[in-house]
Amino acid sequence: MGADVWELDWAVLRYPGVSIKAPLFFSSSQFHQLTNSIIYPPPLSKQQKMAHKYSFNTIDSHNKVWNNCTITDGRSQLLTWLSPLEPSLRHQDIRERRIGGVGEWLLQTEEFRSWRSGSGEDESDGAVLFGHGDPGVGKTFIW
Amino acid sequence: MLTSRDVSSLVIDRLCDQAQGQNVAVACFYFDFAAQREQPSTSMLGALLKQVVSGMEEVPGEIAKAYENQKRVIGGRRPELSDILKMLQTISSENLTFICIDALDECAAEHRVKVLDSLHQIRQKSPGTRIFVTGRPHIQDEIGRRISGRLTTIRITPKRDDVIGYLRARLGEDTNPDAMDSSLEADILKKIPNDISEMYVYATTPRKLLRVIH
């Protein structure tokens, strides 16, 4: 019985959202009947798990999501092929350490606004906005 | 306190917030001295493309085809700079594209030339493409020379609110709060001038900062 429960946990753990609510008083054979009727997709890699939020409740949609995972996997391989670098992760890292409100004034400047909205008769006006700072200001902390 | 990285990430967030649900693509890249070897121009431009593509519902046919084709080559083959550039040009001609590059001066010189020339070519095809670059002042000329169109500059320097925000955050996480009393804190915050000069950047403790202000 203990092993059966562990198996159930295993299924739920691997595929959160698949709610197979087997009561604890299920007999071993009942439990096996239930679990044997499910075709388990191969376990997901850590990356796939992170790439996907699971929102499925039935066994049918469970399989559908499995297919999606295959597609997602192909897509992530394609993205890695384009470049091994992950600037979005770096961005997340930097923004989490950013102190709220700091630098906000820059977004209010005329320079930034007109660059963003591309004002001016010629589209190419204000094409490039260059923010410069001396290393002391730009790269170090005050303590 | 106010690093170019902070500013870049702020600009990117703002652009992304406003881009949602529209035909707008935002891509960013952070250069880093310490990672120069891992950041060649091909990977950098590929990373821009990657971000734009991952924001799309479907991978553009041209890219999917190129990916399938290279798989037939033994061991596969990475896309070349010219391929990536072409794909970026296609996407930026269909979407208003914002490209943000932090610390361009930390990119190796030979790769910097290629990055700037590629950006120039993207803009030639889609003049609406907008580029935000940060870096030390000396690379301004190089940017102006390589990318056509008007170059607007803005100085990244901490303002009063930045200093206050920073001080408050740091004081809040002080592990020895007894060293700071509320009157000292109030005094520091009160005495911060409107346009803080670089001099204050070197003040390393609240007390030193106070001394500098006095």
> What are the pLDDT digits (tens) for B197-208?
544 444 455 555
| Interatomic CA distance for residues B181 and A94, integer angstroms | 31
Contact yes or no for B101/B29 (Cβ under 8 A): yes
Rg of the Cα trace of chain B?
22
pLDDT at B124: 92
A101 contacts on B by Cβ (under 8 Å)? 161-162, 165
Contact yes or no for A86/B145 (Cβ under 8 A): no
DSSP H or E stretch at residue A37: none
Low-confidence winner among A129-133, B32-36, B177-181 (lowest mean pLDDT): B177-181
Searching chain A, which residue's CA lies closest to the CA of residue B150? A126
Task: Please tell me which residue, B62 or B166, carries the higher pLDDT value.
Answer: B62
Mean pLDDT of B4-11: 89
The tens digit of pLDDT for each residue in B98-133 reads 999 999 999 999 999 999 999 999 999 998 899 999
Per-chain mean pLDDT for chain B = 84
Task: Please tell me which residue, A121 or B28, carries the higher pLDDT value.
Answer: B28
How many domains does the structure of chain A reveal? 2
Taking the CA of residue B128 as centre, how many other CA atoms within 13 Å lie in the half-sphere pointing to its CB? 11
Q: Are residues B103 and B207 in the same domain?
A: no
pLDDT band for position B192 (50/70/90)? low
pLDDT at B205: 57
Q: Are residues A70 and A125 in the same domain?
A: no
Task: Please tell me which residue, B22 or B89, carries the higher pLDDT value.
Answer: B89
Within a domain: B48: yes
Low-confidence winner among A76-80, A100-104, B157-161 (lowest mean pLDDT): B157-161
| Length reported for chain B | 214
Whether the predicted pLDDT of B35 surpasses 70: yes
For residues A103-134, b (16+ Cβ closer than 10 Å) or e, as one string? beebeeeebbeebbebeeeeebebbbbbbbbe
DSSP B107: S
Both tokens of residue B89? 């040009």
Of the residues A73, A75, A102, the best mutation for testing chain B's interface (the one with the most B CB atoms within 10 Å of its CB) is A102
Q: Among B91, B124, B146, which residue terminates a domain?
A: B146
Task: Please tell me which residue, A69 or B162, carries the higher pLDDT value.
Answer: B162
Within a domain: A91: no
Contact yes or no for B7/A131 (Cβ under 8 A): yes
Within a domain: A11: yes
B66 contacts on A by Cβ (under 8 Å)? none
Q: Are residues B50 and B19 in the same domain?
A: yes
pLDDT at B207: 59
Among B6, B84, B201, the residue with its CB nearest the CB of A103 is B6
Query: Phi/psi of residue A128, each to 5°?
Result: -120, 130
Nearest to B146 by CA among B116, B103, B189: B116
Domain that holds residue B8: 4-146
Whether the predicted pLDDT of A32 surpasses 80: no
pTM of the model: 0.70
Report the percentage of chain B scoring pLDDT > 90: 51
Residues 77-106 of chain A with CB under 8 A from chain B are: 78-79, 81-88, 90-91, 94-95, 98-106
Domain that holds residue A112: 99-139
pLDDT at A99: 80
Q: Among B121, B146, B171, which residue terminates a domain?
A: B146
